[in-house]
Amino acid sequence: MTQPDARNRRRQSLQIRRARKNDRPAIWQIFRAVVATGDTYVFDPKISRAKALTYWLSPEARCYVAVSDQELVGTYILKQNQPGLGSHVANAGFMVAPSAQGRGVGRAMAKHCLQEATRLGYRAMQFNFVVATNKTALRLWEDLGFKIVGRLPGAFRHAQDGFVDVYVMYRRLNRVV
Amino acid sequence: MTQPDARNRRRQSLQIRRARKNDRPAIWQIFRAVVATGDTYVFDPKISRAKALTYWLSPEARCYVAVSDQELVGTYILKQNQPGLGSHVANAGFMVAPSAQGRGVGRAMAKHCLQEATRLGYRAMQFNFVVATNKTALRLWEDLGFKIVGRLPGAFRHAQDGFVDVYVMYRRLNRVV
C-alpha cells in the first residue's frame, strides 16, 4: 500500500493539460499498452498507430494528457456523444499508462474531465462501453456519480473471458465536481 | 384504414437492394425530409446534403434502399456498432419517405436488415438512440424482438417537447427472422 502522504505528493505533481502535437509518441505508447490486453477497451488489441491516433486525436474530440515529473502518464478525450439533437451529452475515454496505474491518475483525469464538460456546457456525460468485468472502472465511475443505465448482453469479446456484458453509464452535469 | 389485400399488394411490390451511386439524390430527399421535423433522429434538422450523405453512405456502413413502383421509398444502413472487440454487434438506422409511411416499409426493411445482419455473422443488433416519444419505432422494434436495455435521461433535444429520454434497444441474432 502506498501511504496517503506519498499518494498526495504524487497527485499534487500531476498536471493535466490539452495534448500537443509532440505528445503523439507518448499517447501512442499508452494507447498500445492499454489496449494490448484486450480486457477493457473495445479497440483491436493489434490496432495500428495510425488508426489509434486518428481516433484519439480526431478533430471532433478534445484530447488531454496527464503529466507527472515530465512523464506522460495518462490521456483522455472529451467529445459529443451524438451529433445535433444529442450533442448536449458528452462522451469521454480514459487511458492510464500501465506503469502509473493505482496512483489516482484515472480519478484525477475523470474529475478534470467532468469539470471541463460542465464548463463547456454539456448537460450530461455518457459512457457507452464499460466492460462489466472492469471492476476498477465501475467503482471509479460510481464513486464519481455515474449510474448504470443500460446493460448490453455479451457485447464485449473479452480476450480471456469470451463474451461478457457491457454497461452504459450516465451522469447529469448540474454542478461542478 | 388500408385493407389487408391492398397492404399485401403494396408489400409484394417492395424491392430491397443495396444502394447504388445514382440513388444519392433520392436518399438525400428522404434523409432531409425525415430529419427536418427534429422529433425522431439525432441529426441536425438543417444538416447539409454533404454531411448527411457522408454519414449515410460511409464506407464503414452497408446502405440499402427500398423501392416501390420504381420509386425509392426508404433506406437503411447496417454497420458495426463498435470496432474491434465489439464488432460482433450490429447497428442500423432506418428512414422511410414521409409519403410512404404507414405502409409497412420500415418493417420490411427491418426484417431484411435482421436477415442481412444474421447472414453477415453478427451476433446481436443494438440501437443506441431510440427517442422515447417515437412510439411507432418502439412498437416496431418490440414486435421484432428488441428489448429496451437502457434509458438515457434527457439525452434527446426534441424540437417540440424539449429534453426527452432515449432508449437503448438490443436483440440477439440467433435465428433467421
Whether B36 and chain A come into contact, CB under 8 Å, resolves to no
- B125 CB neighbours in chain A (<8 A) are none
pLDDT digits (tens, 9 = 90+) for B48-83: 999 999 999 999 999 999 999 999 999 999 999 999
Q: Is it the case that residue A91 has pLDDT exceeding 50?
A: yes
**Segment B76-93 mean pLDDT:** 98
What percent of chain B stands above pLDDT 90?
A: 90
A45 vs B11 pLDDT, higher one? A45
Q: Is the dihedral of CA B121, B126, B127, B129 positive or negative?
A: negative
Give me the helix-helix angle, A49-56 and A24-36, nearest 10°.
110
Check residue A124 and give its pLDDT: 98
User: What is the residue-wise DSSP string for A83-141?
Assistant: SGGGTTEEEEEEEE-GGGTTSSHHHHHHHHHHHHHHHTT-SEEEEEEEETT-HHHHHHH
**Segment A47-63 mean pLDDT:** 98
Give the distance from residue A82's alpha carbon to the nearest chain B alpha carbon, in angstroms: 7
Q: Is it the case that residue A1 has pLDDT exceeding 50?
A: no
SS3 label, residue B147: strand
Check residue A174 and give its pLDDT: 80
**Segment A69-92 mean pLDDT:** 97
- Distance of alpha carbon A105 from the chain centroid: 10
Size of interface A-B (CB pairs under 8 A): 110
What percent of chain A stands above pLDDT 70?
A: 92
Check residue B11 and give its pLDDT: 52
Check residue B20 and give its pLDDT: 97
CB atoms near residue A139 (< 10 Å): 10
Amino acid making up residue A103: R
Q: Which of residues 99-118 of B touch A (CB under 8 A)?
A: none
Q: How far apart are CA B168 and CA B62, in angstroms?
A: 21
Report CB contact under 8 Å: A155, B82: yes
Asked if B109 and B97 count as a contact pair (C-beta separation under 8 A), the reply is no
Q: How far apart are CA B80 and CA B64, in angstroms?
A: 15
Amino acid making up residue A37: T
**Segment A110-132 mean pLDDT:** 97
- Distance of alpha carbon A162 from the chain centroid: 23
**Segment A124-153 mean pLDDT:** 97
Give the distance from residue B101's alpha carbon to the nearest chain A alpha carbon, in angstroms: 23
Which of B45, B47, B154 shows the shortest C-beta gap to A124?
Answer: B154
**What's the mean per-residue pLDDT of chain B?**
93
Q: Is it the case that residue B175 has pLDDT exceeding 70?
A: no
**What's the mean per-residue pLDDT of chain A?**
93
Amino acid making up residue B83: P
Asked if B154 and B165 count as a contact pair (C-beta separation under 8 A), the reply is yes
Check residue B1 and give its pLDDT: 47
Check residue B30 and give its pLDDT: 98
> Which residue's entry shows cell 473495445?
A42
Q: Is it the case that residue B177 has pLDDT exceeding 70?
A: no
Q: Is it the case that residue A175 has pLDDT exceeding 80?
A: no
Report CB contact under 8 Å: A152, B89: yes
Report CB contact under 8 Å: A152, B157: no
Question: Smallest Cα–Cα separation from A168: which of A134, A131, A113?
Answer: A131
Q: How far apart are CA A115 and CA A171, in angstroms?
A: 13
**Segment B113-139 mean pLDDT:** 97
Q: How far apart are CA A138 and CA A167, in angstroms?
A: 9
Give the distance from residue A2's alpha carbon to the nearest chain B alpha carbon, in angstroms: 34
pLDDT category at B5 given cuts 50, 70, 90 is low
Tell the burial category of A119 from Cβ atoms under 10 Å away from its Cβ (0-12, 13-18, 19+).
exposed
Q: How far apart are CA B173 and CA A48, in angstroms?
A: 30
Check residue B37 and give its pLDDT: 96
pLDDT digits (tens, 9 = 90+) for B130-163: 999 999 999 999 999 999 999 999 999 999 999 9
Q: How far apart are CA B88 and CA A154, in angstroms?
A: 9
Amino acid making up residue A151: R
pLDDT digits (tens, 9 = 90+) for B7-34: 555 555 899 999 999 999 999 999 999 9
pLDDT digits (tens, 9 = 90+) for A8-17: 555 558 999 9
Q: How far apart are CA A136 and CA A157, in angstroms?
A: 19
Which residue pairs from B15-19 have beta carbons closer than 8 angstroms and sit at least 24 positions apart in sequence?
A: B15/B66, B15/B67, B15/B68, B16/B64, B16/B65, B16/B66, B16/B67, B16/B108, B16/B109, B16/B112, B17/B64, B17/B65, B17/B67, B18/B62, B18/B63, B18/B64, B18/B65, B19/B57, B19/B63, B19/B64, B19/B65, B19/B75
